[in-house]
């Protein structure tokens, strides 16, 4: 049986849980509709820096930030649309916008919550499109489903490329196994990939993988005997790995477009006026 309830922890927080297994997620609508915690049978799946969650002036370091209307970063934080220059910070602005809960439910099979994020006067300055983004999170025996429905409320075609920035908790990086389905990568920080393996032994590592051979990544935390699989729709054509020395996490990020996508013209989704684009990412944790 699944249940849902709310609690106050810096911000109003929605908890979706399997009643008898210590499996649950916590969602903070006011902080970019973020899933701040995901726990599977008592084991942390997501890492979270609580201080960054509590401080609304900071980007949250942890959970699963939503990246929209861009998933990467832009050269000089600038792109051009119809001859006019606009500025967008890295990963877009959705993670800093308040969300509104439009549905929450639970039954014997699952629990889910739907949260709406819409344009405002500030977003229109940086991204001249009216939009509606609905994030729906579902917890079930199959794991965690992250579904995005993006509707173009404008009268003109809307370019975007979405992504996610999940922080996966790792007990001991020396005993971490990673499987990314590609041998084609680009170091965004020198030395991030060594002899084909992601380098967790330097202060910061960051690499982007393309030409994916499958839509599934896996990480195995051998210390905790926990396997986490990340599956994503084919529209997510890139996977980014990011890690910091001394921090117990690794980010495995599905992106629709590469770095500077708006300017290089790769991976951009062109959504016609009035249409809706849907995509899903699934996260499954299992004991070994």
pLDDT in tens, 123-145: 999 999 999 999 999 999 999 99
Q: Average the pLDDT over 220-245 and give the result.
A: 97
Provide the 3-class DSSP secondary structure of residue 262: helix
Q: What is the mean pLDDT of residues 25-44?
A: 98
Rounded Cα distance between 142 and 132, Å, is 28
- Write the CB contacts of 82 (distance below 8 Å, at least 6 apart in sequence): none
Instruction: Please report, rounded to a whole number, the percentage of residues in the chain having pLDDT higher than 70.
Output: 100
The alpha carbon dihedral of 235, 240, 241, 243 has a sign of negative
Check residue 120 and give its pLDDT: 98
d(CA 266, CA 253): 17
pTM of the model: 0.97
Does residue 20 have a pLDDT over 90?
A: no
Backbone angles phi and psi of 119, in degrees to 5? -65, 160
What is the average pLDDT score of the chain?
96
CATH 3.40.50.460 assigned to 2-287: no
Burial class of 147 by CB neighbour count within 10 A (0 to 12, 13 to 18, 19+): middle
Across 104-120, b (16+ Cβ under 10 Å) vs e yields bebeeebbbbbbbbbbe
pLDDT of 80 strictly over 90 = yes
pLDDT of residue 9: 85
The pair phi, psi for residue 247, each rounded to 5°, is -110, 130
pLDDT tens, position by position, 39-78:
999 999 999 999 999 999 999 999 999 999 999 999 999 9
């Amino acid at each position: 049986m699944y249940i849902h309830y709310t609690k106050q922890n810096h911000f109003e927080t929605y908890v979706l849980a399997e009643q008898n297994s210590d499996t649950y997620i916590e969602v903070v609508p006011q902080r970019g509709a973020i899933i701040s915690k995901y726990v599977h049978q008592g084991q942390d799946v997501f890492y979270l820096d609580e201080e960054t969650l509590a401080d609304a002036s900071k980007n949250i370091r942890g959970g699963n930030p939503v990246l929209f209307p861009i998933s990467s970063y832009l050269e000089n934080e600038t792109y051009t649309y119809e001859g006019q220059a606009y500025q967008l910070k890295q990963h877009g602005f959705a993670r800093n916008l308040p969300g509104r809960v439009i549905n929450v439910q639970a039954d014997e099979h699952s629990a889910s919550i739907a949260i709406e994020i819409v344009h405002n006067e500030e977003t229109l300055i940086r991204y001249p499109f009216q939009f509606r983004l609905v994030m729906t999170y579902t917890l079930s025996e199959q794991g965690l489903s992250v579904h995005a429905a993006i509707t173009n409320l404008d009268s003109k075609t809307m370019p975007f490329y979405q992504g996610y920035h999940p922080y996966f908790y790792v007990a001991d990086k020396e005993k971490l196994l990673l499987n990314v389905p590609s041998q084609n990568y680009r170091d965004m920080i020198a030395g991030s990939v060594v002899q084909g393996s992601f380098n967790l032994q330097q202060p910061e590592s960051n690499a982007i993988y393309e030409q994916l051979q499958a839509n599934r990544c896996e990480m195995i935390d051998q210390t905790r005997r926990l396997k986490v699989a990340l599956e994503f729709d084919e529209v997510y054509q890139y996977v980014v790995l990011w890690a910091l020395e001394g921090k117990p996490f690794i980010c495995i990020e599905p992106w629709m477009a590469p770095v500077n996508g708006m300017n290089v013209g790769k991976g951009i989704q062109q959504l016609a006026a009035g249409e809706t684009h849907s995509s899903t990412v699934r996260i499954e944790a299992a004991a070994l």
